[in-house]
């Protein structure tokens, strides 16, 4: 069985394809979205999703979130006495989605299509693929999020010919894609984006506003205090979705600090973020050789696009009301499920043809000859231009630079800068060449970019036929096969909190978080009912736990409304 997975910065989802189309998979809470949060409890058990999210405030040193932004790097997240790479944390999320799918579908799930931001680099895509493998899945495809969304949208689009722009703003990343649909062909014309711009940044704006009002040094706040401030900023952001004013409250050293912000102020504070959103849109349109007037429709994707100020910004910038008739949080997972069905050659989708593009320019470092005859090194020679349709394979020929040169080292670079050092170095290949006059020996450098967005590089010496390939696995942050095997073995040893007990543990974590946010008699009352619930869980009387859990949940809901 193959499923589609939207591995998100804030929330993750899974879906599968049925004869009636793609369908979302419910988790243990009967919900479609699983928070992309991982924690470790006092017994060393790993907590996933909703439970871990509740513990962000109460146990920040034992909980991690927003780790998707660090995929493809060697950054480690320390949770208690355990350390995790971003792909290991992502693997834990995927593993839980896999378990939920197996319960939902009542059969083993062995394969998956996993989505990534269109602007993810080669290293980030490889890290995502590794995360799926660590979770015990065969990752058949790594696909771009906007492409998934467009495919899900395209199934509902009745026009034979249309051009549309996908505006994808998630919790931590931003992508814009230009697509063209003609009958049964969906073609990606261009993509652009920013891997460090998302809904979390719109929350950070309110955190900065609050800290300035009260002259707070954020660097001096404890992890727990910072988590509490982030929560009040997140609540204010959501409040401004439906109200003209939001109040922010934060306790520091037993003093309650408060401030308010209007929707007009918030929009003004967000102007730098809006400027950052404009640039990728302009770039994608330019790469596609299109004007705004050529776009027939605009599709919103990602939870952050539910914010009214984002919808208003997109409408004003693009001159039309954006379309969101498919839930912005769900559309990527639905499209990933369609991708899975295409891979499985589902008979109801045999007529759909989808093309994608390479989001970055890929090339090598060369020296160019100046008018004075001197060669200047450090220049960038593109081989595959950004937004080339994939799969794509391109070759360029390069020559020796000095007399009696015995080898040629070819750097593998990714980026758009004309200077080699300003681009990302993915690796390099060195091949021997017969000594001789400068310019006599040559090599063909071939780059091949596949449907998973992963690069293969090959260097061939023309005179001798000697060929070598790049070892892209040596990217910073990318696991080698040996490391992957080691991490897989370690992953099997992790004690993941049982799925069937999640609701009880979640209620306890929820109550503990409300306790920390409360004061006075309210706190005393919460302490009493939490102790009762804790004792009941220890007694392991399943019927009594089940009966009291509903009452306990209602009490917590009332407390949440009053805070």
Q: Helix or strand or coil: residue 476? A: coil
50, 68, 181, 487: which one is catalytic? 68
Q: Which of 354, 418, 454, 439 is nearest to 151 (CA)?
A: 354
Residue 145 is a catalytic residue: yes
**Residue 485 falls in which region: left (phi positive, over 0), alpha (psi -120 to 50) or beta:** alpha
* 174/167 Cα distance (integer angstroms): 8
- Tokens representing 150 are 């467009």
* 92/80 Cα distance (integer angstroms): 16
b/e string for 431-463 if b means 16 or more Cβ within 10 A?
Answer: bebeeeeeeebebebbbbbeebbebebbbbbee
β-pairing, 77-79 vs 442-449, is: unpaired
Q: Which of 112, 93, 81 is nearest to 16 (CA)?
A: 112
140, 168, 200, 441: which one is catalytic? 168
β-pairing, 392-399 vs 255-262, is: unpaired
Cα-based distances in Å from 388 to 226, 291, 356, 361, 451: 43, 19, 8, 9, 12
b/e string for 273-308 if b means 16 or more Cβ within 10 A?
Answer: beeebeebbebbbebbebeeeebebbbbbbbbbbbe
88, 99, 133, 145: which one is catalytic? 145
Q: Which residues, 6+ apart, have CB-to-CB distance to 360 below 8 Å? A: 119, 121, 386, 414, 415, 416
- Tokens representing 234 are 């997140």
Q: Which residues, 6+ apart, have CB-to-CB distance to 553 below 8 Å? A: 507
Cα-based distances in Å from 418 to 62, 373, 380: 43, 20, 5
Residues 95 and 132: beta-carbon distance below 8 Å: no
Q: Which of 327, 351, 325, 324 is nearest to 338 (CA)?
A: 351
DSSP notation for 141-158? EEEEHHHHHHHHHHHH--
* 23/14 Cα distance (integer angstroms): 9
- Tokens representing 196 are 């460090």
* 274/304 Cα distance (integer angstroms): 13
6, 100, 200, 330: which one is catalytic? 6
Residues in the chain: 563
Residue 111 is a catalytic residue: no
Q: Which residues, 6+ apart, have CB-to-CB distance to 54 below 8 Å? A: 506, 509, 510, 512, 513
Residue 168 is a catalytic residue: yes
Residues 545 and 501: beta-carbon distance below 8 Å: no
Residue 343 is a catalytic residue: no
Q: Which of 127, 122, 121, 146 is nearest to 6 (CA)?
A: 146
Q: Is 430 exposed, middle or buried (0-12, 13-18, 19+ CB in 10 A)?
A: exposed
Catalytic residue ranges = 6, 68, 145, 168
């Amino acid at each position: 069985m193959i499923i589609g997975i939207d591995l998100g910065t804030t929330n993750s989802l899974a879906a599968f394809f049925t004869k009636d189309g793609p369908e979302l998979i419910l988790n243990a809470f009967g919900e479609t979205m699983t928070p992309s949060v991982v924690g470790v409890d006092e017994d060393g058990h790993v907590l996933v999703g909703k439970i871990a999210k509740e513990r962000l405030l109460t146990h920040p040193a034992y909980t991690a979130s927003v780790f998707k932004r660090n995929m493809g790097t060697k950054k480690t997240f320390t949770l208690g006495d355990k350390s995790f790479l971003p792909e290991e944390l992502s693997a834990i999320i995927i593993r839980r989605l896999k378990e939920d799918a197996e319960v939902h579908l009542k059969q083993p799930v062995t394969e998956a299509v996993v989505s990534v931001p269109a602007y993810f680099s080669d290293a980030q895509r490889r890290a995502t693929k590794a995360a799926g493998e660590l979770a015990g899945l065969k990752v058949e495809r790594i696909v771009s999020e906007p492409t998934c969304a467009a495919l899900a949208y395209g199934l509902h689009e009745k026009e034979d010919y249309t051009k549309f722009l996908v505006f994808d703003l998630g919790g931590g990343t931003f992508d814009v894609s230009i697509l063209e649909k003609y009958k049964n062909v969906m073609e990606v014309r261009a993509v652009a984006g920013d891997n460090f711009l998302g809904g979390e940044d719109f929350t950070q704006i309110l955190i900065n506003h609050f800290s300035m009002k009260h002259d707070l040094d954020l660097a001096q706040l404890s992890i727990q205090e910072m988590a509490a401030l982030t929560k009040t900023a997140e609540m204010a952001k959501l409040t401004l979705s439906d109200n003209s004013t939001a109040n922010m409250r934060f306790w520091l050293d037993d003093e309650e600090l408060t401030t308010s912000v209007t929707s007009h102020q918030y929009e003004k504070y967000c102007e730098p973020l809006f400027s950052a959103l404009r640039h990728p849109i302009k770039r994608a349109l330019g790469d596609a050789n299109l004007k705004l007037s050529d776009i027939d429709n605009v599709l919103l994707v990602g939870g952050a696009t539910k914010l009214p100020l984002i919808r208003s910004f997109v409408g004003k910038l693009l001159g039309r009301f954006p379309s969101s008739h498919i839930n912005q949080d769900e559309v990527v997972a639905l499209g990933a499920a369609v991708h899975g069905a295409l891979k499985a050659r589902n008979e109801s989708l045999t007529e759909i043809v989808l093309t994608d593009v390479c989001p970055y320019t890929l090339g090598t470092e060369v020296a160019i000859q100046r008018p004075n005859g001197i060669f200047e090194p450090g220049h960038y020679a593109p081989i595959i231009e950004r937004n080339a349709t994939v799969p794509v394979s391109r070759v360029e020929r390069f020559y020796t630079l000095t007399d009696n040169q015995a080898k040629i080292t070819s750097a593998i670079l990714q980026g758009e800068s004309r200077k080699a050092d300003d681009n990302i170095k993915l690796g390099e290949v060195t091949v021997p060449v017969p000594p001789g006059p400068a310019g006599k020996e040559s090599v063909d450098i071939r780059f091949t970019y596949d449907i998973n967005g992963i690069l293969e590089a090959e260097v061939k010496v023309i005179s001798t036929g000697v060929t070598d390939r790049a070892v892209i696995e040596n990217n910073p942050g990318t696991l080698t096969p040996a490391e992957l095997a080691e991490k897989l073995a370690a992953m099997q040893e992790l004690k993941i909190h049982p799925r069937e007990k999640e609701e009880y543990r979640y209620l306890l974590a929820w109550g503990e978080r409300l306790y920390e946010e409360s004061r006075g008699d309210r706190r005393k009352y919460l302490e009493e009912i939490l102790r009762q619930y804790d004792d009941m869980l220890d007694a392991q009387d399943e019927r009594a736990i089940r009966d009291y859990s509903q009452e306990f949940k209602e009490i917590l809901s009332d407390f949440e409304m009053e805070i």
